[in-house]
Structure 1
Amino acid sequence: VYTLVDAARKAAIETVRPGATIGEVHDAAVRTLVEGLIDLRVLSGDAAGLVESEAHKPYYPHQTSHWLGLDVHDPGDYARNGSSRVLEPGMVFSVEPGLYFRPGGVQDEAEAFAGIGVRIEDDVVVTRDGCEVPTRQLATAAADVEALVRDRSAGA
């Protein structure tokens, strides 16, 4: 589950560039999560159809991003005139996909994952030719996070 959420985070960040939309960032994360949920046998069917029907919502109920600025959840529109907001240089927002398998709140197919919840967050700044990830130095790969936990447990 952790590796899947990390893959969704990476897919979302890869879409960040001027001219893309905040909706495209979310869509990249959702597609990756749905494909992974199919691989985990939590969902079954055609990935595009599952995305369209929002079959992921029991496990991923929120959007991928929120604006960052003076506040952690800075105010701002995510759509203009009914269309997803176009990204421009200087915009700053989070990329934080997640999966949540609530105990007692999952379908039989997801029972093996009941009680697991993972969200991985990066912050991104839209630049003229893509994006910068100021949080890139933080451990997000599963092996790196496991090593940090091991080191901390050992008193390092």
Structure 2
Amino acid sequence: MTQSLIRAALHVLPAVAALAMTTAAQAQVRPALVRSVDEPARVPYTQRMAPTCSFTNQCTASFPVVPAGKRLRITSVQAIFYNANFNAFLAVHTGAAQQIAVAFTVNPIPGYFYGTLLSTQQAVDLTYEAGEAPMLEIGCNAGNTFMADVRNLMGVSGYLVDTTP
């Protein structure tokens, strides 16, 4: 009698295990629905532009002013400069006074058939209110010169959020 119970249990056990795995799998494929009430009307934002070089060793890019009723959250900044074989910095400016919020070192890399490049992409988390404008600056030692090249670009990425209901 004991052997017949053991055999019966061995036949039932795989079915119970399969049922348990099916239930677990069903629970995993049903994601929870989430809504961010703090960020309604989130709109992706990307701007790239050729910089303006007021001095041979400093270039800036001033991006459009954040429109009324919006807030801009910048999550990434980018820069690429061609034919630049020297160290530089990339600074992100904020506020009405355009103070430096953060700065990064940018080192030259071999671009092979593109020449030597200064290229970077950095994660940031900066907020600009309506009426403010993001600005990027790249600078280097006075003995170096940024060459005018239409391929030179500076950019920001993030998203716009409605501030008025």
The structure in which a higher percent of residues are helix is 1
Query: What range is the shorter-chain TM-score in?
Result: under 0.3
Provide the TM-score with structure 1 as the length reference. 0.28
- Structure number with the higher strand fraction is 2
Higher relative contact order (CA 8 A, sep 6+): 2
TM-score, structure 2 length as denominator?
0.27
Structure exhibiting the larger radius of gyration computed from Cα positions: 2
